[in-house]
Chain A
């Protein structure tokens, strides 16, 4: 019997054990980024901006040049890189606490300026690293360590739909929301990842991809239940799809 190799690790993903919890989908998101950039032969041209949260150690797992931005500021750091190095491929990798809460100013303005960067936004509806506090993306009724009775709109407002907010800004060339809870959804995510980078590579504007992902630890679920929660609770409020795909560049 001759063997055929069915799968190899894409070279830009490090062959190391990660610190992520069982059932966490950061690993899937990492691979989607690396597979696209490796596939396009862009690894040496890439500079990534890491953020604060569970993915703070991203540079241990993705083998691209990296700068670590303070909490929320990754899009500004990416702006500085891209404006002074227009030939590089620049992406930020941010969680929902980082991007949609403390970093709302930076993402909105980078998007509005149409920075030629790609933003990978991992939305698991909770602050992960700090232990499961409420995020701007936490769903109504969702219990967290800082919304013990469940999030209530009259007190905490409504969960923020970032992919739609991004789509509303003229500087954004591509904005989509995908999920990482099934093979089918991951295949869609792979495609969205490509479009989010193409927006940058084709000099059309900012590319934004929101990934609905699990956090079994802070959701207090096992991996299977967490996957089911994406389907049952997240997708009804955070619909999947492409909200913006502008093929024209926004040059003045």
Chain B
């Protein structure tokens, strides 16, 4: 299994990444376009000594994750737009209770039931906390099957390093696309992971609790300050890909599958002599603000392309504020994005 190239869907790559990251509990509910993840888990996770439960709803699924994660076990769920919306209360609880886990959102078109086709309309939800209260969750956005695998492993490490839920955000293109994948040997989890906080083995005055309720005067303020410190520390984990931006006059900012499609466009337009480059945020939170700002300092212009009606463009504008602005082109959710429309949009922005 290890060190050999296999041909898998993005959803399977995520599932394999989780398994190789030492997953002990998967809890999920069927929703298109991510069903290959629970299907894979139902077979392979029990074989690897973990627990798989098909929950009765996304509400139950995320709360099963909460339970397993509170004992320090590596646990996850996966879903898509509407299901992720249902999970938000518990994600907020886990952010407040500092419970590490991984939540995968293979995005589909919205709002509402929308459609089962690909889109990137959950960017705001993924990067602004998504539920109630002041919290953020690190959010990683792969563009290839290999990246989906690698970032799933990274997501677990980040979750435990900072005791926080971590989101992995893909879309129907990534989930359903097949590509070669290099799978690595499973990681050996340190048995002491979470030993200083996990439940199961203390009682009496030293018993532990995982909770987000703080009624005593000043206590919640303390917790919020600590969370904000954590989010500041997480800023050091910003990830991005910078492709041919050095001498570019126009930098196109795009993430996930859209970033990948844009990359082809950039290559084609470069061949025709246009000075364009791609900046692809890989961590949507923390947003790679400084790297983008550095590009703004050197006088670049920006075009943000997304498969939604304009969400990440807000973060781009915040990053370059006072120095530059960003144009926006949005592929319509409900339609499959077309490389030609992106190329045309980039060309227009160059004019």
Contacts and interface: CB of A to CB of B under 8 A. Distances in A.
Interface of A: 11-12, 43-47, 49-50, 56-57, 59, 63-70, 73, 76-85, 88, 105-106, 108-109, 113
16 contacts: A44-B201, A50-B211, A65-B199, A65-B201, A65-B202, A67-B97, A67-B199, A68-B210, A69-B66, A79-B67, A80-B75, A81-B67, A81-B70, A84-B67, A85-B68, A106-B63
B67 A67 contact: yes
Interface stretch (B52-60, B160-168, B321-329): B52-60
A81 B212 CA distance: 18
B217 to A, nearest CB: 15
A157 B140 CA distance: 47
Given A43-B204, A65-B203, A105-B60, A84 B90 contact: no
A56 B213 contact: yes
B117 interface: no
Given A65-B209, A106-B60, 6 more contacts: A44-B203, A65-B201, A68-B213, A83-B51, A84-B24, A105-B59
Contacts of A69: 63, 66-67
Contact of A85 (B61, B73, B202, B205): B73
B200 interface: yes
Nearest to B215: A57
Nearest to B198: A65
Given A77-B66, A106-B56, A63 B207 contact: yes
Interface of B: 24-25, 27, 50-51, 53, 55-57, 59-61, 63-71, 73, 75, 89-90, 93, 97, 199-205, 207-213, 215
A84 B194 CA distance: 15
B64 to A, nearest CB: 4
A49 B57 contact: no
- Please indicate which of the listed interface residues A44, A63, A69, A80 has the most CB atoms of chain B within 10 Å of its own CB: A80
B212 A68 contact: yes
A73 B60 contact: yes
Contacts of A47: 70-71, 199-200
B260 to A, nearest CB: 35
Contacts of B93: 68, 70
Contact of B203 (A46, A70, A105): A46
Contacts of A64: 203, 207
A68 B211 contact: yes
B207 A66 contact: yes
